[in-house]
Amino acid sequence: MENSILSSIGYPVSNLEELQKFVPSAFSKTYHPDRTDRYSFVATDNLVNSLISLGWELHSGKQNGVSKFARHVIRFTNPKLGYMKLKNDNVKPQIILDNSHNGGSSAQLHMGLFRLVCTNGLVIAMPGLYTNVKFRHMGVKFEELKKLMEIVAEQYTVVGTHISEMQKVLMNAVQKEEFAIKAVAQREPHMFIQKDGTINTKKVHKITNIPEILSPIRGEDKADNLWSVFNVVQERMIKGGYNRISENGRQSKTRGITNATRNIAFNKELWEIAEEYI
């Protein structure tokens, strides 16, 4: 289980000491020396302390590489929000703090979800919903952050309703295969998406075993609804381990997406694919 968690959302952390051990770049007091004086430095530890004071608790974290300025991702849960009211599933709302001190990204917050059954982290990308906030100025006022978190908490009610709708959308075999093909192509666009933007479906089938991608890892996901199919494919894509055959016929297993930045981006891309079936 531990390796699965690490490949998806990072090291479990419950306090600042553990966070500093596993995500030291979050505590950098300055930015990379290559940046100019115009660089807008937003200290991660200030945001972390503010979120904790607003009732959010540390859940997990990881960083890309070992640099003290490296990009890092930290997940929080809020006990007051509890679990979402979903049929046959336990999902917790999360806030995902994404930042770097090397100019690689601006500080931003994403709405996320933690699915207990597979210890897996999702990232929400619902159209028309306030799911991503970027902080471009140096000082993030506490009251401003407090108001934002209140809005986010309210929006999770909308997300819960949306997921309930996803559970009602039944998918036939053709739709499920199409969903998996789109996911595989999005995971490795350089290999499967052609210059005109279309997917090389024949190549996807040649290299990837689509039935394996759609095979539920656990009994809870054996339903044919959109939410279950999405979660099956998402877990396969993020954690890796499924078989593939290279163009020269060599068999191998895919690696999980361990890069924190790519993890967030791809999770959002998968959610957008799922939205097409609502």
Residues 87-108: tens digit of each pLDDT? 888 899 999 998 887 666 678 8
Predicted pLDDT of residue 34: 60
- The pLDDT mean for the chain works out to 86
Q: Residue 142 has what pLDDT?
A: 83
Residues listed for the chain: 278
Please check the confidence at residue 203 and state whether its pLDDT lies above 50.
yes
Beta-carbon count within 10 A of 41 CB? 16
pLDDT higher than threshold 60 for residue 36? no
Residue 91 main-chain phi, psi, to 5 deg? -130, 130
pLDDT exceeds 50 at position 274: yes
Q: Band the pLDDT of 8: cuts 50, 70, 90.
A: low
pTM of the prediction?
Answer: 0.85
Q: Would you say 102 and 67 are in contact if contact means Cβ atoms under 8 Å apart?
A: yes
pLDDT tens per residue, range 205-236:
999 999 999 999 877 788 999 999 999 999 99
pLDDT of 55: 94
pLDDT (mean) for 190-208:
95
End-to-end alpha-carbon separation of the chain, Å? Answer: 32
pLDDT at 127 over 70: no
Closest CA to 162 of 232, 242, 93: 93
**Alpha helices for 188-252 (secondary structure H):** 189-192, 201-207, 210-213, 226-239
- Give pLDDT, residue 247: 75
| Position with higher pLDDT, 69 vs 143 | 143
Flag whether pLDDT at 32 surpasses 50.
no
Question: For residue 2, what pLDDT is reported?
Answer: 42
Look at residue 139 in the predicted model and tell me its pLDDT. 59
For residue 57, give Cα distances in angstroms to 95, 96, 115, 145.
10, 11, 16, 15
Beta-bridge mates of residue 108: 98, 134
CA-based nearest residue to 156, from 223, 99, 93, 222: 93
pLDDT of residue 119: 65
**Helices (DSSP H) in 169-225: which residue ranges?**
173-187, 189-192, 201-207, 210-213
Residue predicted with more confidence, 36 or 64? 64
Average pLDDT over residues 237-247: 88
Nearest to 97 by CA among 67, 143, 63, 146: 63
**11-25, 49-63, 138-152, 185-199 — which is least confidently predicted?**
138-152
How far is the CA of 114 from the CAs of 5, 13, 59, 227, 252, in angstroms?
11, 14, 10, 14, 29
Question: 103 or 83: whose pLDDT is higher?
Answer: 83
